[in-house]
Homo-oligomer: A and B are copies of this chain.
Amino acid sequence: MEIIRTVEWMKQVAREARSADRLLGFVPTMGALHEGHFSLIREAQKQCSPVVVSIFVNPKQFGPSEDFQKYPRTFEADCAALEKLHVDYLFAPSPEEIYPGGFRTAVVVERLSDRLEGRARPGHFRGVTTIVLKLFEIVGPRFAYFGRKDAQQWRIIRQMVADLNLDTQVVACPIIREPDGLALSSRNRFLKDGDRRAATALYRSLDALRREISSGERDVTHLLAAMHRVLGAESGVALDYVEIVDLETLEAVMSLRRTCLALVAAKVGGTRLIDNALIEPDGDSIRVTL
């Protein structure tokens, strides 16, 4: 695996791949890699060669009171894992390489970025879309892989790619979970023992939703109530929001007629966690994917 530190070198590698008509696959990360990231990389390797992984803890997507300083950084272990997976290139630029003095540009996806995570974390998605566009311009991927765990991020990036006529295809990959259902996240390592148990309430609330839907419940108010019952029963969980929204608009729905997301966000022992389920009507039945 070649470790690339500069934009120019990364661009050169990308240009060569393009000239040789190779399908470059890209997995952008903030490091602290776990099985969720590895699943994205394996998916990329099925479809693409070369595969580029980036590690960049993007300061612009953290608010002033958020955990940028504290965000886990495990570069040595990450490199070892990427080597083992036979990743071709690791792009790991410095903050100064990405945001030189005088940097002034931002990309915003309006409306979709203000709600849900965007309401809890003002400016977060503006930071995400700006870095993702920059990385796409630098890495020039034909395919880029994102985890469906960050569902709103995936939705926003898909919109940005369409609106800006980018040539990158966004691939959304399944949520990877612990045996007890907890969605993998770099932040899970901050959970202490008691929190770790409480944290499964997010998954359990989505599982309750799935069971309600599969037993015929269609009323959104009842479905939200079922989720709230699970989350409310767990005293370690400080709920931020539970919503069922239209996948296209991210606005709360009154019925499940179109593809929806059930989204939950909460703090558990000071650590902010999110999880979601994809709800897809299919004739008379509804498929729920956790």
Q: Is A159 within 8 A of B248, CB to CB? A: no
Q: Give the total of A residues in contact with B, Cβ under 8 Å.
A: 26
Q: Is B110 within 8 A of A107, CB to CB? A: no
A139 to chain B, nearest CB (A): 10
Residues A141-177 near B (CB distance < 8 A):
159-160, 163-167
The answer, among B7, B109, B165, for a CB contact under 8 Å with A104, is B109
A134 interfacial contact with B, CB 8 Å: yes
Minimum CB distance partner of A138 in chain B: B165
Contact indicator per residue, chain A 111-147, by CB within 8 Å of chain B (1) or not (0): 1100000000000000001000110011000000000
Q: Is B110 within 8 A of A164, CB to CB? A: no
How far is it, in angstroms, between the C-alpha of A163 and the C-alpha of B248 when the chains are bound?
29
How far is it, in angstroms, between the C-alpha of A138 and the C-alpha of B134 when the chains are bound?
17
Residues A59-77 near B (CB distance < 8 A):
none
Residues of chain B lying within 8 A (CB to CB) of residue A134: 163-165
A80 interfacial contact with B, CB 8 Å: no
How far is it, in angstroms, between the C-alpha of A5 and the C-alpha of B275 when the chains are bound?
43
Residues of chain B lying within 8 A (CB to CB) of residue A167: 11, 137
A287 to chain B, nearest CB (A): 24
Given contacts A137-B164, A137-B165, contact A159 B109 (CB under 8 A): no
How far is it, in angstroms, between the C-alpha of A159 and the C-alpha of B7 when the chains are bound?
17
How far is it, in angstroms, between the C-alpha of A220 and the C-alpha of B267 when the chains are bound?
56
How far is it, in angstroms, between the C-alpha of A248 and the C-alpha of B248 when the chains are bound?
40
Minimum CB distance partner of A18 in chain B: B18
How far is it, in angstroms, between the C-alpha of A29 and the C-alpha of B159 when the chains are bound?
26
Q: Is A105 within 8 A of B164, CB to CB? A: yes
Residues A35-54 near B (CB distance < 8 A):
none
How far is it, in angstroms, between the C-alpha of A105 and the C-alpha of B112 when the chains are bound?
10
Q: Is A106 within 8 A of B107, CB to CB? A: yes
Supplied contacts A105-B110, A105-B159, 5 more A-B pairs, CB within 8 Å:
A11-B165, A104-B159, A108-B108, A137-B165, A138-B165
Would you mind naming 7 contact pairs between A and B with Cβ atoms under 8 Å apart?
A: A104-B109, A104-B110, A104-B111, A105-B110, A134-B164, A137-B167, A138-B165
Q: What are the nearest 9 A-B pairs in CB distance?
A: A105-B163, A137-B165, A104-B110, A138-B165, A105-B109, A104-B109, A105-B160, A106-B108, A103-B163
Mark A residues whose CB is within 8 Å of B: 7, 11, 102-112, 129, 133-134, 137-138, 159-160, 163-167, 248
